[in-house]
Structure 1
Amino acid sequence: MSHTPHELAEEFPDKVELIAQLRESNAHFAKLCAEYHEVNRAVHRAEARIEPVSDEAEEEMRRQRMRLKDEIYGMLTAAA
């Protein structure tokens, strides 16, 4: 399988350990990470034309990924 860009470890390389800790200790954070992972993979499949979707649907998935990333970042900075 090809590399999927925008994985959380790639987006926040200095916070990999904190991400792992919060996934274990915070159910809401773990749920956000799982949702981010799912949406990110869907965006990648759409961009790679593995599972083509409409331009509007692809843009909405990107916005959803950005909202999730922002919320995850907020929780990471609050926990640091």
Structure 2
Amino acid sequence: MESEHQDLATEFPELAARISTLRVNHPHFAKRLAEFDALTAEIEHIERNDAASGSSSLEEMKKQRLALKDELYRILQSES
């Protein structure tokens, strides 16, 4: 089952400018955002190709992505 693309700026359009600023000026945020983007690409690749779409490893990856998104959102809120 294919899901919608999970881009942080799409998820939080009201914070798009802040995301761009932190990507450049906040090394930890930039690193975690790169991890989020890479994990999203990997999940989307698996889902597109139906490889192990119901596997526990895919579910674990989705949980990891959600944890990253939560962390990124907390940084966005604290750095405002």
Tell me, yes or no, whether TM beats 0.5.
yes
Structure 2: segments with no counterpart, 5+ residues = none
- TM-score by length of structure 1 reads 0.87
The Cα of 1:48 is off from its aligned counterpart by 1.1
Q: Give the aligned CA root-mean-square deviation in angstroms.
A: 1.4
Establish whether residue 27 from structure 1 lines up as the match of residue 24 from structure 2. no
Higher relative contact order (CA 8 A, sep 6+): 2
- In 1, the alpha carbon distance for the partners of 2:19 and 2:45 equals 24
Find the aligned partners of 2:30 and 2:56 in 1 and give their Cα distance: 28
Name the aligned partner's letter for residue 5 of structure 2: P
How many residue pairs get aligned? The number is: 76
5+ long unaligned stretches in structure 1: none
Match of 1:16 in 2: 16
Which TM-score applies when normalising by structure 2? 0.87
* 2: CA distance, partners of 1:11 / 1:67: 14
